A = this chain, B = another copy of it.
Amino acid sequence: MKSKHIIKKAFLLVGFFGVLITSASAQFQQDPVVSPEIHEDGAVTFRIMAATADSVKISGSWMQGWGASEHLEKGEEGVWELTISDLKPDYYIYSYNVDGVRTIDPHNPWVIRDVRNTFSAFILPGEGSKNVQLSGQKKGTIEEVWYSSPTLNMDQRRMKVYLPPNYNESDQDYPVVYLLHGGGGDENAWTELGFANRIMDNLIHSGEAESMIVVMTNGNPNQSSAWHVTPGHEPARESNSPNPMANERFEESLVADVIPYIEENYQVKTGKEYRAVTGLSMGGWQTQKLALKHPDMFDYYGVMSMGIIEETQFGMDARAHLELTNQNIGDLQESGYELYWIACGTDDFLFESVNNMREVLDSHDFDYVYRESGGGHTWDIWRMYLSEFTPMLFQ
């Protein structure tokens, strides 16, 4: 499995006029270490140059359990490496630990952020990862938009808006799905970690899903945008106070600020039959609240990896939520809806909360579709859910 081309010949360009090694021209210096290297048989070799290190480990999103890792072996010229041959095609993230220091792969320029931490990223090609492959056909547009949120007392909040392929080509109006992230995430999560844009491009081109607009907001009512863009409200710093994720102000701002903005500024079909909302974890909690408090806004709901918790956690008031359900579920049933979709993995640490929610809903003879998958509370599962949920919309 070891490649003969582990270390490519370092090639240093001579700058203009022979001025060598300026900061600009040194940028062109070829990295002599290739990592990750994806082999034709699907094996992946990870490498890092760390000549004096005593220990190098890798943690990857394919490993089971937080903190799991594998050791790399030291090879020639100070390059450590590990080849993994049993990965299934998917989008993966990973990091190294060199003598106790967590680091991204310095040889891989693709870096993404998940909550507080940065990771290196790669896609292992194959049938199983076709939903996150870049479409060969016309791709949709992603907009980074700032809008006003009087409900949250913020002049400016940021969101990402996906416009489907050929949006600009006609005056056609489109339905909209509002796609919510989980606790600690932000408006970047569904494109960086969820690749919602690629998933939608592929589903639309294959004819599996209708053309639709996807709106990805920031679901943290105390943030105006991802926290390194607008410093001051970091995701974890405030989590020991009553968690703002559960104060329901975001849900109100979605209805009062976001939806009107989208419907005024884009080519959008209006009315509940053209609106869907779905979210994972915290976003699944918010989706439940939206269904119960605004039953006339959406015809499609997707609750991913979240149910009804039995104890108040993260500032989520379990008893109040149960009361709200019992009180308002009749309005939701009366208003009507096309789809109430619940999805959870059997290894998800919130799996029991979903069982609990289903019992509550069953006791009200509430119609829903239940999708039980393998897997846990992770992005590979949520990408799969998005790929399954959106084809059911607006048909």
A99 touches B53 (CB 8 A): yes
Stretch at the interface among A132-140, A202-210, A286-294: A132-140
A362 vs chain B, min Cβ distance (A): 21
User: Across the two chains, which residue of chain B brings its CB closest to A266?
Assistant: B168
A257 at interface by CB-CB < 8 Å? no
* B residues in contact with A377, CB < 8 Å: 22-24
* B residues in contact with A333, CB < 8 Å: none
A353 touches B24 (CB 8 A): no
Q: Considering the complex, which residues of chain A in the window 287-327 have a beta carbon less than 8 Å from any beta carbon of chain B?
A: 309-311, 313-314
A28 touches B310 (CB 8 A): no
C-alpha gap A361/B301 in the complex (Å): 65
B309 touches A17 (CB 8 A): yes
Q: Mark A210-230, 1 if CB is under 8 A from B, else 0.
A: 000000000000000001111
* B residues in contact with A15, CB < 8 Å: 313, 349
C-alpha gap A295/B313 in the complex (Å): 66
B311 touches A17 (CB 8 A): yes
Q: Considering the complex, which residues of chain A in the window 106-152 have a beta carbon less than 8 Å from any beta carbon of chain B?
A: 106, 109-111, 113-118, 134, 136-139, 141-146, 148
Q: Among B31, B103, B349, which residue has its beta carbon within 8 angstroms of that of A24? A: B349
Please, how many residues of chain A have a CB less than 8 angstroms from a CB on the other chain?
A: 87
- Given contacts A11-B240, A99-B50, A142-B143, is CB(A182)–CB(B17) below 8 Å? no
* B residues in contact with A148, CB < 8 Å: 138
Which residues of A line the B interface, CB within 8 A? 11, 13-17, 19, 21-31, 48-54, 65-67, 78, 98-104, 106, 109-111, 113-118, 134, 136-139, 141-146, 148, 155-156, 168, 182-184, 227-230, 235-237, 239-240, 265, 281, 309-311, 313-314, 349-350, 352-353, 376-378
Task: Offer 5 A-B interface pairs, CB within 8 angstroms, sorted by A.
Answer: A27-B184, A98-B101, A103-B106, A134-B230, A141-B145
